[in-house]
Amino acid sequence: MADPALPALLSLASHELRGPAGVVRGYLKMLEQDGSLPERSRKAVLRATEGASRIVSLLDEISELSQFKQGGIRLSLRSVSLRSVLAQAVQAVAIPEIDVTLDVIAPMDVRVRVEEARMRFVFERLIVALARAQNGAVTLELKLVAPRTPKAAPQVVVAIRSLGRGSASERPLDLSRGGMGLSLALADAVITAHGGRLRERWVGDRWMGFDVRL
């Protein structure tokens, strides 16, 4: 069982670390402006500044995640086209170091009540996570799943998947995947806050993507 005090501790850690991280970044930026630095030293300072900025970004993610866990974030919901959100996410993804083809399959459109910017962030992060794991094609497929009871509404499912044959199964989200900061945990928190569920898609022993159910 998760420690109920953990979100508050995460928030405190983010707050306390932000001060010294900001000081480090500030002095590094001062060094960047020093025209007397030799080229080798300048490059080292630039790399260090990038590292310090990444630390601050991670602290922002920790702070936001702790707010979600404490129920401190109120979503601004409005009815939007889910197909449009998916298309915008594909257009916004920038992964120049990876050879990947992105496509959206949405024969029908569905309007859902979501906070558009946060949901677009979710799909962007899930696309990047999958694309970094394997080159090739990544498909976003929007579909409706028949309800379990006659009077219930169909369930909206967005499958973010790579190519592969075989029957797919769902597994819980693996939050230990490296290289993504806390963005997967944040994506899970955003979907949960919308009343949805995020799961991984597996074919046999191969991870093939994600299923987002809304």
The pTM assigned to this predicted structure is 0.81
Find, among 154, 130, 128, 153, the residue nearest to 142 by Cα: 154
Q: What is the pLDDT along the chain (214 residues), one digit of tens a residue?
A: 456 677 788 788 888 888 888 888 888 888 888 888 888 888 998 999 999 888 888 888 888 888 888 888 899 999 999 889 988 988 888 776 666 777 888 777 888 899 999 999 999 999 888 888 776 677 878 776 655 666 656 678 888 888 777 788 889 998 887 777 888 999 999 999 999 999 999 988 888 889 998 8
Strand 136-145 vs strand 100-105: parallel, antiparallel, or unpaired? parallel
End-to-end CA distance of the chain: 25
Q: CA–CA distance from 34 to each of 20, 29, 41, 51, 101 (Å)?
A: 22, 9, 11, 19, 42
* Tens of pLDDT, residues 115-172: 999 999 999 999 888 888 776 677 878 776 655 666 656 678 888 888 777 788 889 9
Q: Indicate the CATH number of 78-213 among 3.10.20.30, 3.90.550.10, 3.40.605.10, 3.30.565.10.
A: 3.30.565.10
- Annotated domain spans of the chain: 6-69, 78-213
Using N-to-C axis directions, what is the helix angle for 183-193 and 116-133, rounded to 10°? 140
Whose tokens are 């797919």? That residue is 168
